[in-house]
A and B are shown apart, each in its own frame.
Chain A
């Protein structure tokens, strides 16, 4: 049984989250005692009995003003505090390691920048920001790691992201939390947070055995202090598969993307090389495209990111860049797999 009312806080953000949660618990206990205490007190003190006289009170403006104003101020304060932590959650640091996630009924696929794909578990280093860029092949799913206090829906047809910076090595439970059909409750995964040595081994392609459950470090341990730091000596869970990478030598996402651009003849309209003569090409150049701010022909602007590229590949007519014509490029909706989309985006992004 889990001894605490919260899971371990495995990141600094989770620790800050816990402060706000505990503040809300404290505030709730205070108001519950205040209101229900008054209710019970009145119910006993003014219980009906012979000779009891009531008092005719219809309102009291001062009191009503007070119990409107105080909650308003408190609630606005809570809102600001909650938004402050949320905006941290919403924006990943620029140097984050990226892992691409494709969720499907009832399986998780995690793909690294070097092209390696692992199912139903992923590996991440300690003390480094990690960003998950996620999409779904079928219905809604959601990526939830309670130890990091993060969660996001995974929506077919677009990318959503979450990020974390883990402070505690070991296994962290991952859940799908958006109902996705029959085996929803079996759509679990393991997040293995690795020490620096393990991470270096992992990057060299070495197998990392199953890791024990993560436990809270001594400093921020809130629930099971007796076992601090003993987590790594726990016996490994029995039902976890051995780690093995079935791909002999994975091809990096960028290289996969380059191959695709050739196979699909994207370069007959889009430039890959800024030095070549690109004057005859009818589409926007790939070079320096990612991250740039562009004007659209409806007068608005857009920043080129994963979701923009994805939409422009699947449905080019959705947003037309100023100076270009609609109808030049066929829509690729349903013709490019999720992993191919990831590869194409990675390649375009690499063309600085």
Chain B
């Protein structure tokens, strides 16, 4: 089925029709779109939980939900957003679609494994979300996405379904990482040397290594937790002779690197988009490529900075704080390189570039507040407060979501052969940017003032900033809704896009739109660096076909 190209004149979307043709497809582009649709669906679900949380915080006392429901809301918001949205969003959705095209390949190295990974993700998602219905009279899970022991051992058994879901989804992540590593090694087009590899692929490569190495630790941890909960062997519960802090070590050994599973691919997308919209080569190609690996390496050595007040030793705190400071260096190098690329460029303000600006604003604040939290004494007061909530939303939403939405706008014409309305996109961008800052900036102040996170009710002095945050989140939600509306409209009624509307030198743009089944009519040969925007490189022509 995949061994022959689609019939002449067809593309990957229409060469075969019907729901069954999608469900059994081995085409990386279709699998990428299926991931994208699933991720966006869960983004909507997780987002609705967030809206209810913010609604509750319009006042300090009871507003709409009781404390038990509130605890379930932030648990599912976290679990869904982390395991089902942010981790797979860029690698599995956009990465699947773009990676083989950037390589000049027909598909990933193991197409069947790729489809299997998708179904593992779906199975994990079904397990995790089925617990929402609270089987056999047990309430839904309320542990928070971190599943800290011993609370998770003593609370509702439905958390086992969530753990199983995360366990299964983890294998999807491992197999996708493995697939990408082999694909990048084996299926590069003639002439595409490592030194010419697009930065999105360098980032996906580093991400894949983290996925393959770190995720098994999470899987084992979750399995141990299930065993302890079901057959009461003492591993993490002090009452059974276990050590609660050990769970935190195991959990963060995965979950800290996971932050980079979310962030590195976002860095990759930003590195792809800036040259196209500034008509300049990326500044410091090697520094950006190597710093991805620098970050991935150090990411494995800093998990303890989530545990400065956990009771771990002073020496451990010393070491983890020092190593954490080092992560900021390669991250800073990337930011400076991105801004440096804009110098003496020819900058257009189309939607993807707007998201680059938004990314840089949010990521600057997210990164700098990370230095606060990495500083030992400062963390003691700020940890477990809204400061941390604001920080990781600036990083995870600031970097990953901005890059994801930016990347969706960037590759939308290639994916679907349609154009969206630029003005509508600009409106959506400003709504999201304003809504985001209004939601989360006040939370830095709330946290500095000492307001703890995961609090259903709060003291009267925190009311005003909480209300600002809630109204900001409603604007943010409306912004996402607006984006969904105009993109859906573009999908149905948008103008037909030309093959290369941005005038990109990237390999993925050098084929017809939408691409044919196996991406290129003939295997391309790569001669130039995809960032080789010399003065006089033609500006993009007409966007419409």
Q: Quote the shortest CB–CB distance from B470 to chain A (angstroms).
A: 16
Q: Which of B342-390 contact A (CB under 8 A)?
A: 342-349, 357, 360-361, 364-365, 368-369, 371-372, 374-381, 383-385
Q: Provided the pairs A151-B380, A177-B452 are in contact, do residues A28 and B279 lie with their beta carbons within 8 angstroms? A: no
Q: Which residues of B contact A270 (CB under 8 A)?
A: none
Whether A181 pairs with B71 at a CB distance below 8 angstroms is yes
Complex CA distance for A233 and B193, rounded to whole angstroms: 76
Whether A155 pairs with B321 at a CB distance below 8 angstroms is no
Whether B376 pairs with A157 at a CB distance below 8 angstroms is no
Whether A32 pairs with B376 at a CB distance below 8 angstroms is no
Task: Name A's interface SS.
Answer: mixed
Q: Which of A294-352 contact B (CB under 8 A)?
A: 315, 333-334
User: Looking at the complex, which one of B154, B364, B368, B378 makes contact with A138 (CB distance below 8 Å)?
Assistant: B154
Whether A82 pairs with B345 at a CB distance below 8 angstroms is no
Q: Which residues of A contact B122 (CB under 8 A)?
A: none
User: Looking at the complex, which one of A1, A20, A56, A185 makes contact with B281 (CB distance below 8 Å)?
Assistant: A56
Complex CA distance for A157 and B236, rounded to whole angstroms: 11
Whether A142 pairs with B154 at a CB distance below 8 angstroms is no
Binds A, one of B39-47, B307-315, B404-412, B484-492: B307-315
Complex CA distance for A32 and B445, rounded to whole angstroms: 17
Whether A57 pairs with B148 at a CB distance below 8 angstroms is no
Q: Provided the pairs A83-B318, A140-B150, A185-B455 are in contact, do residues A151 and B368 lie with their beta carbons within 8 angstroms? A: no
Q: Which residues of A contact B357 (CB under 8 A)?
A: 39, 43
Q: Which residue of B is nearest A90, CB measured?
A: B314
Whether A179 pairs with B454 at a CB distance below 8 angstroms is yes
Which of A5, A7, A139 has its CB near the most chain B CB atoms (within 10 A)? A139
Whether A31 pairs with B364 at a CB distance below 8 angstroms is yes
User: Looking at the complex, which one of B148, B310, B452, B535 makes contact with A56 (CB distance below 8 Å)?
Assistant: B535
Interface size on A, residues (CB 8 A): 84
Whether A89 pairs with B535 at a CB distance below 8 angstroms is no
Whether A82 pairs with B377 at a CB distance below 8 angstroms is yes
A78 within 8 A of B: yes
Whether A46 pairs with B384 at a CB distance below 8 angstroms is no
Whether B452 pairs with A176 at a CB distance below 8 angstroms is yes
Q: Which residues of A contact B25 (CB under 8 A)?
A: none
Complex CA distance for A140 and B376, rounded to whole angstroms: 21
Whether A64 pairs with B287 at a CB distance below 8 angstroms is yes
Complex CA distance for A81 and B379, rounded to whole angstroms: 13
Q: Which residues of A contact B454 (CB under 8 A)?
A: 179, 184-185
Q: Which residue of B is nearest A63, CB measured?
A: B340
Q: Quote the shortest CB–CB distance from A314 to chain B (angstroms).
A: 9
Whether A151 pairs with B309 at a CB distance below 8 angstroms is yes
Q: Which residues of A contact B539 (CB under 8 A)?
A: 48
B424 within 8 A of A: no
Contact with B along A73-104 (1 / 0, CB 8 A): 00110110111111101100000000000000
Binds A, one of B10-18, B250-258, B324-332, B508-516: B324-332
Whether B461 pairs with A76 at a CB distance below 8 angstroms is no
Q: Which residue of A is nearest B444, CB measured?
A: A5
Whether B344 pairs with A39 at a CB distance below 8 angstroms is no
A251 within 8 A of B: no
A261 within 8 A of B: no
Complex CA distance for A54 and B503, rounded to whole angstroms: 15
B171 within 8 A of A: no
Q: Which residues of A contact B372 (CB under 8 A)?
A: 21, 24, 28
Q: Which residues of A contact B328 (CB under 8 A)?
A: 71, 75
A152 within 8 A of B: yes
Contact with A along B16-34 (1 / 0, CB 8 A): 0000000000000000000
A175 within 8 A of B: yes
Q: Provided the pairs A54-B346, A144-B452 are in contact, do residues A86 and B377 lie with their beta carbons within 8 angstroms? A: yes
Whether B71 pairs with A79 at a CB distance below 8 angstroms is no
Whether B154 pairs with A144 at a CB distance below 8 angstroms is no
Whether B463 pairs with A1 at a CB distance below 8 angstroms is yes
Q: Which residue of B is nearest A71, CB measured?
A: B332
Q: Which residues of B contact A139 (CB under 8 A)?
A: 150-151, 154
Whether B325 pairs with A75 at a CB distance below 8 angstroms is yes
B129 within 8 A of A: no
Q: Provided the pairs A7-B450, A75-B325, A156-B239 are in contact, do residues A46 and B342 lie with their beta carbons within 8 angstroms? A: yes
A242 within 8 A of B: no
Q: Which residues of B contact A178 (CB under 8 A)?
A: 148, 384
Whether B325 pairs with A78 at a CB distance below 8 angstroms is yes
Q: Which residues of A contact B332 (CB under 8 A)?
A: 67-68, 71
Whether A64 pairs with B284 at a CB distance below 8 angstroms is yes
A180 within 8 A of B: yes
Q: Provided the pairs A54-B535, A155-B244, A181-B71 are in contact, do residues A71 and B329 lie with their beta carbons within 8 angstroms? A: yes
Whether B342 pairs with A149 at a CB distance below 8 angstroms is no
B220 within 8 A of A: no
Q: Which residue of A is nearest B279, CB measured?
A: A54
Complex CA distance for A315 and B240, rounded to whole angstroms: 12
Contact with B along A144-184 (1 / 0, CB 8 A): 10110111110111101000000000000101111111111
User: Looking at the complex, which one of A64, A78, A186 makes contact with B457 (CB distance below 8 Å)?
Assistant: A186
Q: Which residue of A is nearest B307, CB measured?
A: A153
Could you list 15 further interchain pairs (A-B, Cβ under 8 angstroms) beyond the known A1-B461, A139-B151?
A54-B533, A56-B280, A58-B283, A58-B284, A64-B287, A72-B329, A78-B325, A81-B375, A85-B377, A138-B150, A149-B381, A158-B238, A173-B450, A181-B142, A334-B239
What are 29 inter-chain pairs, A to B, with CB distance below 8 A? A1-B463, A4-B449, A35-B335, A35-B364, A36-B364, A39-B357, A42-B343, A42-B345, A43-B349, A54-B278, A54-B279, A54-B344, A63-B340, A67-B332, A75-B328, A75-B329, A75-B371, A79-B325, A82-B376, A87-B314, A139-B150, A144-B452, A147-B450, A173-B459, A175-B452, A176-B452, A177-B385, A179-B71, A179-B454
5 interchain residue pairs of minimum CB distance:
A146-B450, A157-B238, A82-B375, A85-B377, A185-B455
Interface residue ranges, B against A (CB under 8 Å): 67-68, 71, 142, 144, 148, 150-151, 154-155, 238-239, 241, 243-245, 278-287, 309-311, 314, 317-318, 321-322, 325-326, 328-329, 332-333, 335-337, 339-340, 342-349, 357, 360-361, 364-365, 368-369, 371-372, 374-381, 383-385, 445, 448-450, 452-459, 461-465, 533-535, 539
